[in-house]
Structure formats: structure tokens, C-alpha cells
Amino acid sequence: MDTLSRIRIANGLVVACGVIGGGWFERYAAGTNGPFSFDAFAVWVAAPSFVMLIPVVLANTVKAQVVVLVLSSLLVVGGLLLYWDAMFLHVDAQGALVFLFIPLYQFVAVVVVLCGVIFVRARAHVATNTTFEGNARKNAARPSM
């Protein structure tokens, strides 16, 4: 197994932790801990982690995958720590608002990461095509023997 595949697996594990952890916090806050008791808020909390799989799939170099891994880890760990803080450390009536705003902020972060990955892919594609076109022009300019 090559390095790129290992990093993708690590990214998948981070995303799974985000989905499971966020879903658990939402279910705990709702007062139901059943395995099949998901509602719209549970989907809302888990959605940014699922969307984070798009940059994982699109990143095609080791450097890009490492950047996506670090950013997705920060996204998941930061979200889970904020849920923990709102539910257990600073219990307040407005603590439930974290389930509305943390996923929204996570979506914004995922879109920024996705734009970065798309930019890096496009830049690499342009550089590759430019090199191929330049080599083709040089070969065409040479007289054949």
C-alpha cells in the first residue's frame, strides 16, 4: 500500500470520528441514545464531515492529502471540543446553539479547503499541459531524419 492510500485511509478515519462523535453529542443533547434515532439535527451535525470526503477524493498528491488530513483533523477535533465545552463544561441555555452554528462554520471551512484542492489540481493540470505542449513544439520544430 502506497503513502497516498494510507493518508486517504487516515482521512477516512478522521471523517468517521467526526460523524460518530458529532452524532453522539447531538443524540446525547436530545436525550436519546438509540442507534437508529437520527433526526434532522443529527444529519446537520454530521454533514460537514461527510462533505469533507470530497477534498479527500480530489486531492491527488501526497502534499495535498497531508494538508487535507491536517485541516480535517482540526475541523473534527475543534468541533468535538466545542460540543464538549458547550455540553459539559459551560452548561447554559444557549449551549444548544452550537448544534446550529458549529456545522455552519465547518461547512465554510470545508468549502475553503475544497477550493484550495481544486486550485492546486487546476494549477498542476496547467503546468503538466504546458510542459507537454512545449515539448511537442520542440519536437515538431526539429527536422526528422
How far the first Cα of the chain sits from its last, in Å, is 45
Domain map (residue ranges) of the chain: 3-141
| Average confidence score pLDDT of the chain | 83
Give residue 23's pLDDT. Answer: 83
Provide CB contacts within 8 A for 94, sequence distance 6+.
none
Query: pLDDT band at 41, cuts 50/70/90?
Result: confident
Give residue 141's pLDDT. Answer: 58
Is pLDDT of 81 > 90? yes
**Cα Rg of the chain (Å, integer):** 21
Q: How long a stretch of residues is the chain?
A: 145
Is pLDDT of 107 > 90? yes
Mean pLDDT of 90-106: 88
Give residue 145's pLDDT. Answer: 58
Q: Which residue has the cell 462554520?
A: 105
Higher pLDDT: 61 or 112? It is 112
Query: pLDDT band at 101, cuts 50/70/90?
Result: very high
Give residue 124's pLDDT. Answer: 72
Q: Are 56 and 15 in contact (CB under 8 A)?
A: yes
Is pLDDT of 136 > 60? no
Q: Percentage of the chain with pLDDT > 90?
A: 28
Q: Are 43 and 22 in contact (CB under 8 A)?
A: no
Provide CB contacts within 8 A for 55, sequence distance 6+.
68, 72, 110, 113, 114, 116, 117
Q: Are 65 and 59 in contact (CB under 8 A)?
A: yes
pTM of the model: 0.76
